[in-house]
Chains A and B, each alone.
Chain A
């Protein structure tokens, strides 16, 4: 075979290879089309705006804290630090909560009582759904059967018993305390809960979810154990 012919064919095949590969890449990864309609985009925009305002609010509070630090630092830095620690503990859930909120009662349903069905603990999936629904409706603090929920709380099944924070739940009836930012939020929460499908979900498991009246003074216990932080590390100074 002629060398020049062979070289030409090689070059042409090389070019064809590149073209095919580029075509393959293009066909394999089509550009994702934006199929949202105006309404969806508007909704997203409003969500982003909300987030924006929340971030601004956060920046403002942090600025205030900084100013307070600056003013207090000279006289007594200890007070400022203690204040911060108290606020952080409150947000984590290490202090008892007292404020507006509502109380939910989980009871066996009347049918279950009438038929004499054996009582089962409330399934963890259902409790998780309840907690998610509550947080969705702007609950700030939740305690299930006097177990305060914090960031690392787990609701799960251990040996057939539903546990919260590793402590087994009592059989129904049991209470769930929910704290909100203000009494208006508590009222809204009650209305939203009543309208949501969560009551039906509980009813399917023979549990009756009773939603109490909004109260100004709900008391929620603090998280009893020490918070375990296994995977967090302190950053070096200045980072």
Chain B
């Protein structure tokens, strides 16, 4: 549980302390890549909770989505169409859907645990 959080903090710390910067024109690509990465991450968590998690799907999805999003934005810039909006929309919608599913699963689990605790308590009393 703590390991992923540590990873995030380590990444943030490394990025902030090294003071890395990218040219402003590539800012759009990076923001879309972050969105894609977040989407994949939440998808992975959901899959784990639904017990359909697959390593290959997760890792390939992560890189593929990030590259596809950046590529779409790149293409959009060159075609003069704001294609990155499509990526933002798609990822945004999926992000919320994933979060909703995760929330429901967690709520169901919480309720189940409560029920189990109640029944065990009842058994003890009997």
Contact = CB atoms under 8 A, between A and B. Distances in A.
A21 B11 contact: yes
B80 interface: no
Q: Which of B4, B22, B34 has the most CB of A within 10 A?
A: B4
Given A26-B22, A29-B21, A4 B37 contact: no
B125 interface: no
Contact of A22 (B8, B20, B38): B20
Interface string B27-65: 100110110011011001100100001010011001000
B28 to A, nearest CB: 10
A25 to B, nearest CB: 5
B35 to A, nearest CB: 10
A7 B41 CA distance: 12
Contact of A16 (B14, B24, B41): B41
A20 B36 CA distance: 12
A19 B33 contact: yes
Majority DSSP secondary structure for residues of B touching A: helix
Contact of B27 (A1, A8, A23): A23
Q: Which of A22, A25, A29 has the most CB of B within 10 A?
A: A22
A21 B7 contact: no
A14 B21 CA distance: 17
B46 to A, nearest CB: 12
Interface residues of B, number: 37
A12 B21 contact: no
A13 interface: yes
A26 B21 contact: yes
A17 interface: yes
Contacts of A20: 11-12, 15, 34
Pairs of residues from A and B, 9 with the lowest C-beta to C-beta distance, nearest first: A17-B11, A21-B15, A10-B7, A14-B7, A14-B11, A13-B8, A17-B12, A13-B7, A18-B11
20 contacts: A5-B44, A5-B55, A10-B3, A12-B7, A12-B58, A14-B7, A15-B11, A16-B37, A16-B38, A17-B7, A17-B9, A19-B11, A19-B37, A22-B20, A23-B30, A24-B15, A26-B21, A26-B22, A26-B27, A29-B21
Given A15-B37, A31-B24, 15 more contacts: A1-B48, A8-B55, A8-B58, A11-B7, A12-B41, A13-B7, A16-B38, A17-B14, A17-B15, A18-B11, A19-B33, A19-B34, A23-B30, A25-B21, A26-B30
